[in-house]
Amino acid sequence: MRKALLLLPIALCFSCTAQNTAERLGYQKDAILLILHGDDLGVAHSENLASIDAYENGGINSASIMVPCPWFPEIAEYGVKNPDFDLGLHLTLTSEWNTYKWDGVSSSSTIPSLLNKQKHFYASSEDVGQKANLAEVEIEIRAQVDRAIAFGLKPTHLDSHMGSLFQTPDLFKIYQKIGADYKIPVFIPDGSLKGVQVLIDAIQPGQIVVDNLAMLGPEVSVDQWQNHYLDIIRNLKPGLNEIIVHLAYDNDEMQAISIDHPDFGAAWRQRDYEVVLSQAFKNLIVERDVKLVTWRQIQHLQYPD
């Protein structure tokens, strides 16, 4: 996702039982549940290394992988060797960097409506919403899931890079259909859909939704970066919360990838990395009695064996 979505109120409840998600996971009904989620794994070696380090040192407990990207095989290998890492798929239909590009897992002749004149994915999710053929979207998304499984991964969830699959109700329905077909939960930020009635109406019965989503946007100043994250923790509400971070090292590789693109660029990702590993951030989670949960737990609820 690429918008600042900060703890918006719950719009609807789609729990498939009388119990809420916390109770179904064995917590008190008013428990504060949190998924600390790293985005964009596979986009770069720097991204993979920083995300792995954050996972191994308690900075994140979940993440999702961009299958079409060049560094997918590296993170897939790590995921297979470390099956406890809660790894999902960051379904990818856009290629946003200025000079660092990718296309689909499917052949270009199979998904022409998803590609620009240079045969790369479009740079914006709006282009996907306006130009993508729905059948081709489904072909490509299935190909991404199949490739991840072929590499030995067992995805715990699906989400959507830059929110492309939230652009129209039809795209949103395909997203949920594929999740159901593979028995993989899909990330739906319930509160963040407030005001988008056509998407609220398209949520399928039985979905376990994220009540509150937080992700920093470009309006946050560098000097307030850590304070902003600490305020998010201070203001977490009971229910299922997710904080999305973007982690990488501010090194030559990431600087080259994100040239002239400071939003979500190399320095941004270094700051996120430093915050989630800071003692102040970790201590506040403990002080507020926040319960860290994973998409794997959600998967077991939604699709029990």
In a domain, 231, yes or no: no
Q: Is the pLDDT of residue 86 over 80?
A: yes
Q: Which domain range does residue 73 map to?
A: 32-186+247-302
Task: Indicate which CATH number applies to the domain containing 126.
Answer: 3.20.20.370
pLDDT value at residue 17 = 40
Residue 77, number of CB atoms within 10 A of its CB: 14
In a domain, 229, yes or no: no
In a domain, 95, yes or no: yes
Closest of 69, 90, 88 to residue 153, by C-alpha:
88
Closest of 79, 222, 53 to residue 149, by C-alpha:
79
Angle at 142 between CA 137 and CA 145, to 5 degrees: 130
256-266 residue pLDDT tens: 999 999 999 99
In a domain, 117, yes or no: yes
Percent pLDDT > 90 in the chain is 92
What is the mean predicted confidence (pLDDT) over 86-102?
A: 98
pLDDT value at residue 18 = 52
Residue with tokens 């593979």: 182
9-39 residue pLDDT tens: 333 343 344 579 999 999 999 999 999 999 9
In a domain, 66, yes or no: yes
227-258 residue pLDDT tens: 999 999 999 999 999 999 999 999 999 999 99
pLDDT grade, residue 6 (50/70/90)?
Answer: very low
At 65 the three-state DSSP class reads strand
What is the mean predicted confidence (pLDDT) over 287-293?
A: 98
Cβ neighbours of residue 111 closer than 8 Å, sequence gap 6 or more:
104, 136, 139, 140
Angle at 174 between CA 22 and CA 171, to 5 degrees: 100
What is the mean predicted confidence (pLDDT) over 164-173?
A: 98
What is the mean predicted confidence (pLDDT) over 134-139?
A: 98
Closest of 42, 73, 37, 81 to residue 55, by C-alpha:
37
What is the mean predicted confidence (pLDDT) over 159-185?
A: 98
pTM, full prediction? 0.93
Question: How many folded domains does the chain comprise?
Answer: 1
What is the mean predicted confidence (pLDDT) over 196-220?
A: 95
In a domain, 215, yes or no: no
Report d(CA 159, CA 185) in Å as an integer: 9
Helix (H) or strand (E) holding 123: none
Cβ atoms of residues 82 and 75 within 8 Å? no
Give the alpha-carbon dihedral of 82, 289, 233, 167, to 10 degrees. 60
Q: Please give the structure tokens belonging to residue 75.
A: 């993170």
Report d(CA 31, CA 296) in Å as an integer: 18
Report d(CA 36, CA 62) in Å as an integer: 6
